[in-house]
Amino acid sequence: MKRQENYSLLGHNTFGMDVQTTLFVEYDTVDELRTFLQSGELTRHERYIHIGSGSNLLFAGDYQGIVMHSAIRTIEVTEETDTHVLVRVGSGYVWDDFVNHCVMQGWAGVENLSAIPGEVGASAVQNIGAYGVEVKDVIVCVEAMALDGNTRVFAKEECSYGYRDSIFKRELRGAYIVTHVTYRLEKTPTYRLDYGDLRSRVEAHGEPTLKAVRDAVTEIRNNKLPDPKILGNAGSFFTNPVIPRAKYEALKTQYPNIPSYPISEELVKVPAGWLIENAGWKGKALGRAAVHEKQALVLVNLGGATGHEVMTLAERICEDIYTMYGIRITPEVNYV
């Protein structure tokens, strides 16, 4: 187990915030995590958080407390039939390495989720999604440890999955640490290509393959999203608001181009990126924090920005969006 006091989190958050934590603890096994939790050390500190690779976090400043991180990086097939495999993966496994592994093995289900930063543990907390797929579609169960060291297996149905949401972000926030996730992958792919220009890109190379989908998704993402190694960011900063259809129809008379995706008879989802861009924020900076010039949903650190600067920019955007459209948008990024 790695244990370091006054530790810089610069390498542990994609926003590029050079903040320190009082204590950083990284464990390699479930037993190490249990021993640490039962040592009583958590209660001796003001607060604690468990992080993955920090690609959906924004640190406001130094963290007075314990930051925990999983280095459980096991991967094992726990069931295999003619049609599918169940794969149990450690929470510290890098998500995109897992996707790559699946594609190489010919296991289908996660190829559309290629190139999403982060680790396996957070995938199940965040219910990551992209190109028409959410990870909940392939999750079978989530193994987690409570702060007293007891373990619990959550069936997918117990995780209350919603859009970028789960029980681990709400009722059980901070109460459980995800240690393993089991996914079900299919041996016969069902390609999901009806999102943007994914189909034309994939079919340009002939019959679809898992690798072609992975390559196309990776290429589109690399063109569209800023690389956190160059420009600090945490991907989509806000979630897309879901609003009553009647409200949407009223807005459409004022903004005829406002896009929407149906959710139900009464509800539609509106892309937050469109609302922000249409409000004139794309490419604008406030101090050292800015709205990305190509993708209005992404806030970036132009270099040396503090968490507070990014949060102030986000607040100003939220206020403008509410004034203009009467819609409240909320951060997808976790403030710490």
Q: Annotated active-site positions, please?
A: 164, 236, 332
Largest CA distance in the chain: 61
Dihedral over alpha carbons 49, 54, 57, 61 (to 10 degrees): 70
Q: Which is nearer to ligand FAD, 177 or 202 (CB)?
A: 177
Contact in structure between 100 and 113 (CB atoms under 8 Å): no
Binding marks (x or -) toward ligand FAD, 201..240, rule CB under 6 A?
Answer: ------------------------x--x----xxx-----
- With CB under 6 A as the contact rule, the residue among 50, 136, 214, 292 that binds ligand FAD is 50
Does 118 bind ligand FAD (CB under 6 A)? Our answer is yes
Q: Which is nearer to ligand FAD, 107 or 131 (CB)?
A: 131
What's the min distance (Å) between Cβ of 326 and ligand FAD?
Answer: 27
Does 14 bind ligand FAD (CB under 6 A)? Our answer is yes
Q: Cα separation of 16 and 11, whole Å? A: 8
Size of the site for ligand FAD (CB under 6 A): 34
Contact in structure between 24 and 49 (CB atoms under 8 Å): no
What's the min distance (Å) between Cβ of 187 and ligand FAD?
Answer: 26
Q: Cα separation of 8 and 21, whole Å? A: 6
Q: Which is nearer to ligand FAD, 83 or 223 (CB)?
A: 223
Residues facing 236 on adjacent strands? 298
| Residue appearing with tokens 């989908």 | 213
Contact in structure between 129 and 135 (CB atoms under 8 Å): yes
Q: Which of residues 156-175 bind ligand FAD (CB under 6 A)?
A: 164, 168
Q: Which of residues 78-107 bind ligand FAD (CB under 6 A)?
A: 91
Q: Cα separation of 233 and 40, whole Å? A: 35
Does 126 bind ligand FAD (CB under 6 A)? Our answer is yes
Does 117 bind ligand FAD (CB under 6 A)? Our answer is yes
Does 334 bind ligand FAD (CB under 6 A)? Our answer is yes
Q: Cα separation of 76 and 216, whole Å? A: 27
Does 141 bind ligand FAD (CB under 6 A)? Our answer is no
Q: Cα separation of 288 and 300, whole Å? A: 9
What's the min distance (Å) between Cβ of 124 and ligand FAD?
Answer: 8
Amino acid at 326: G
Q: Cα separation of 202 and 188, whole Å? A: 17
Which residues are near ligand FAD by CB under 6 A? 14, 49-57, 70, 91, 116-119, 121-123, 125-126, 128-130, 164, 168, 177-178, 225, 228, 233-235, 334
